[in-house]
Amino acid sequence: MKRNIITIVIGATLVIIVALLLFVFQVRQSQVAIVTTFGKPVRSITEPGAYFKWPWPIQKVYIFDQRAQNFTGKFEESQTADSSMILTSVYVGWHISNGMRFLEVFRGGSIPAAQQMLEHMLRSADLAVVANHDMADFVNPDPGRLKFNAIENEIRQNVQSQLSTNNCGMSLDFLGFKRIGLPEDVTEAVFTRMKSERQELISKYQSDGDAEAAKIRSAAERQAAAVMARANEEAIGIRAQGEREAASTYGVFEQNPQLAEFLLRIDALQRSMNRKTTLIFDERQPPFDLFMHLPTNAPAAASAGKNDTASGQ
């Protein structure tokens, strides 16, 4: 009796499992489900959960991943507006935006078929957009003249327009250049042009530097002239003050000319006889003629002044 109950329970469980597999399907958070009745899409389900369906061949469920899918196009040659050749490779990310339409366009919802069609569109858009730009927009020593972002946006808009026109149930998420290169026969010419443009930049920077240096020198010369003018004014004032003070002593010198002459000679001797200085002079020439009038009790060295020439230290 117990064995029959266990058999019945197991059988019932299997029937329930089979029924669930035949009549129920599950949709996850990142998925979209398309239900077809006799091969015709009748329902699109984007909310996660469990749903009822009739078993095959009445109904069939196609489950698609709505997350972004990406691939990279081939590294192919394109011609620019200035008749130069360039090699480009573009990566692209896309997702299924309309599951029912995607199933209708691509039999059985084939992802490889969708990517193949998208690759043809990408190739067409790449050729069309690159043909509208010069080589300098891709290769340039001046980063400010590069137009990668603008060109990528143009290609993306072109591909998205093709997808919308064909109503493929697909939408682009991102697009950009993965690789850019030059054919061997173009590389040398491009490098030569880049060197020429770089030389132009060097000349421009040198010219700007020379102009700035000239401004700095001019400003320094003006400042130096102003300082010299102020110094000359101060020197004239100091000289005038000294002359005024000197003039105040002229009255004393006029009263005693011999004293004035003697003081001037002493001052001349003091200027000429610095430390560690050797002099060879004629004692008959002023102011050295003072040595001829030294007292008789002067040192013996002073008596040597009677000679035609003498030396002092």
Clarify whether residues 204 and 242 are in a common domain: yes
Clarify whether residues 262 and 250 are in a common domain: no
Predicted local confidence at residue 239, as pLDDT: 82
Domain's final residue, options 65, 92, 111: 65
Query: Whole domain around residue 208: which residue ranges?
Result: 191-255
Predicted local confidence at residue 5, as pLDDT: 74
Gyration radius (Cα) of the chain, Å: 53
Predicted local confidence at residue 304, as pLDDT: 40
Q: List the CATH number of the domain containing 79.
A: 3.30.479.30
Clarify whether residues 36 and 88 are in a common domain: no
The full DSSP string for 174-222 is EEEEEEEE--HHHHHHHHHHHHHHHHHHHHHHHHHHHHHHHHHHHHHHH
pTM value surpassing 0.85: no
Predicted local confidence at residue 153, as pLDDT: 92
Domain's final residue, options 65, 89, 111: 65
Clarify whether residues 270 and 226 are in a common domain: no
Predicted local confidence at residue 154, as pLDDT: 92
Clarify whether residues 166 and 94 are in a common domain: yes
Each residue's pLDDT expressed in tens, for the chain with a length of 313 residues = 566 777 766 767 776 776 666 777 778 888 888 888 887 887 888 877 777 777 777 878 888 888 888 888 888 888 888 888 888 888 899 998 888 888 888 887 888 888 889 999 999 898 899 899 888 888 777 788 888 889 999 999 999 999 888 888 888 889 988 888 877 766 666 667 777 777 888 888 888 888 888 889 988 988 988 889 888 888 888 888 877 777 677 666 667 777 777 777 777 767 666 656 666 666 676 666 666 665 555 444 433 443 433 333 3
Query: Mean pLDDT in the chain?
Result: 78
Clarify whether residues 178 and 93 are in a common domain: yes
Clarify whether residues 235 and 285 are in a common domain: no
Backbone torsions φ then ψ of 56, nearest 5 degrees: -65, 140
Per 3-state DSSP, what percentage of the chain is helix, strand, and coil (rounded to 5)? 55, 20, 20
Clarify whether residues 80 and 174 are in a common domain: yes
Clarify whether residues 201 and 250 are in a common domain: yes
Contacting residues for 105 by C-beta, under 8 A, at least 6 apart: 114, 166, 167, 168, 169
Nearest Cα to Cα of residue 43 among 31, 51, 52, 34: 34
Question: In this structure, how many other beta carbons lie within 10 angstroms of the beta carbon of residue 262?
Answer: 14
Clarify whether residues 103 and 145 are in a common domain: yes
* CA–CA separation, 41 and 28 (whole Å): 19
Clarify whether residues 91 and 151 are in a common domain: yes
Clarify whether residues 60 and 74 are in a common domain: no
Predicted local confidence at residue 273, as pLDDT: 66
β-bridge partners, 60:
36
Domain's final residue, options 182, 215, 240: 182
Q: What's the number of domains the chain is made of?
A: 4
* CA–CA separation, 291 and 304 (whole Å): 9
Predicted local confidence at residue 21, as pLDDT: 66
